[in-house]
Amino acid sequence: MSGVDSTPLYQKIAESIREDIFYQNLQPGDRVPTVREMAARWNCTTGTIQRAYQELTRQGLIESYAGKGTMVVQSLKEAHPSPLQQAQLVHRAETFLLEVLSSGYAPEDVETAVQLALDRWRSLRSNPPLKQGITIRFVGSHDPALSRISPMFSDFSTDFTLSITYAGSLGGLMALASNEADIAGCHLWDVESGSYNVPFVKRLLPGTRAALLTLAHRDLGLITQPKNPLDIRTITDLARPGIRFANRQEGAGTRIWLDHQLKLNDMDSESIEGYEQVLATHSELARAVAEDRVDVGLGVHAAAASYNLNFIPLTEEHYELVIPEALFQIAGGCFQAWLDHPDVHAVIESLPGYNLKATGALRWAE
C-alpha cells in the first residue's frame, strides 16, 4: 500500500473547516475566511478554495450572503429524513466504508471510530427540546457503554426515546434539579460516607424521592501512551516535571475523585502541568493521548482500549442512572427491561473494564 496521500487539496481544505466546525473552533454564525485569505494560507488558487466551499455548502455546513461573506450555518438540521434521504445517507456511508476498508482498516476499527465520533458529537450538541411523552432527556456523566446501548432503549418502549447530553455527574444532577433534564447519570464518590451517588442526590435534590438504577461498575485509571514510555504508575507521578496532563471539567465525577486523591497524597493541583486543561469526555481525553497532545489523563478502561492505549487501573466506580419517582412510575419498567436484557449485557461486556455484577439493581434516595 502506497504511503502517498492522493486526497485532492480541495477535500483537505474542506475537511480542515469541517473539523473546526465540529470542534467548535468555528461557531454557528461565525464568518469563515475569505477565498483569498484561504488561498494564501494554503498556497493554492482561489478556484481550489471555491471548490472546497462549494462542497461545504452542499453539505449544509456553510452558506454565503451578499455583502456579508460566507458563514457557518446557525444550526444543523436534525429533522427525520425521508426514505430517499435515508437511502442517500446509506449510500454516503457505503462510500466512506469502501474508502476506509480499501485503506486497510478492519470493519471493527471503523465501527469503533464512528462510535467515538458520535460520543464527541453528543458532548458538543445542545440538548434537543423535550417532546412530552416521547423524549426522555438524559444529562450526566459520559460513559462509553451508555453511548453504545442508548440506541437500543427504544427497543423496550413504544412510548419513549432517550436523548443523551454529556455534562458531567454534577452537571446532570443540577440539570435535573432545574428541570433541564428528566434523568441524570453519575458516579460521584462521597468521602464522608465512603459511598457513591446517594449523598449527592440527597443534597442536590432535597425533598425528591429518586430511583438509582445501576448501569454498571467500571474501572477508572490512568491512560497513557502504548507501553507507557514515561513509566507513569500512580497519581503522584502526575506532578513529575515534563508530564503533560489533561483533566475533566469541574463537576465531573472523575475530577472529584482525582481531587480527593490529590488531597490524600498532600499534592497541590498547581504542581500538575495541564490540571486546568479540560476535556469533556473520556473518549476525548483518550484521543488527546493518542494524538500526543498530552501524556496522561484519568479515564475509563474502555476509552483507552478504543485508541489502543495503555491503561493503569486505580479504582472501580459505581455508575447509576438517577430517575425521579414520578418518571420512574411511568417509564421505570422500560429502563429495567433495557438494563436486564442479554443483548444489552453483551454490548457492555464487549467493552473492557466493565463489571455487570449489579447492572439493573435498584435502590432509592429520599
Q: Kindly compute the dihedral angle of the four CA atoms of residues 81, 84, 90, 91, in this order, to the nearest 10 degrees.
A: -140
Q: Do 287 and 220 fall within a single domain?
A: yes
Verify that 94 and 23 share a domain, yes or no. no
Burial of 203 (0-12, 13-18, 19+ CB in 10 A): exposed
The pLDDT averaged over each successive group of 10 residues in the chain (366 residues) is: 62 84 77 90 92 87 83 67 59 80 84 76 51 77 92 87 91 95 96 94 95 98 96 97 95 94 96 94 91 95 93 98 96 96 96 96 95
SS3 state at 12: helix
Domain around 112: 78-125
Q: What are the residues whose beta carbons fall under 8 Å from the beta carbon of 106, sequence distance 6 or more? A: none
Taking the alpha carbons of 140, 143, 145, 147 in that order, is the dihedral positive or negative? Answer: positive
Q: Please report, for the domain that includes residue 27, its CATH number.
A: 1.10.10.10
Whether residue 227 is found in the same domain as residue 207 = yes
Rounded to whole angstroms, the Cα distance separating 262 from 236 reads: 8
Q: How confident is the model at residue 5, as a pLDDT?
A: 54
Is 173 buried (19+), middle (13-18) or exposed (0-12) by CB count in 10 A?
A: buried
Instruction: State pTM to two decimals.
Output: 0.73
Grid coordinates given for 279: 476535556
C-alpha–C-alpha distance, residues 351 and 112, integer Å? 11
**CA distance linking residue 349 with residue 356, whole number of Å:** 8
Predicted pLDDT of residue 301: 97
Length of the chain, in residues: 366
Do 104 and 57 fall within a single domain?
no
For 71, what's the count of Cα atoms within 13 Å in the CB-facing half-sphere? Answer: 13
Q: Are residues 202 and 230 in the same domain?
A: yes
Which three-class secondary structure string do you get for 115-154?
Answer: HHHHHHHHHHCCCCCCCCCCEEEEEECCCHHHHHHHHHHH
Distance CA 152, CA 132 (A): 20
**Single-letter amino acid, residue 304:** A
Q: What is the C-alpha to C-alpha distance for residues 220 and 316, in angstroms, rounded to an integer? A: 6
Asked if 216 and 244 sit in the same domain, the reply is yes
Give pLDDT, residue 319. 98
Q: Are residues 113 and 131 in the same domain?
A: no
Kindly report the CATH number assigned to the domain that includes residue 234: 3.40.190.290
- Closest CA relative to residue 132, chosen from 178, 166, 179, 76: 179
- How high is the pLDDT of residue 58? 84
Residues 26 and 164 in one domain: no
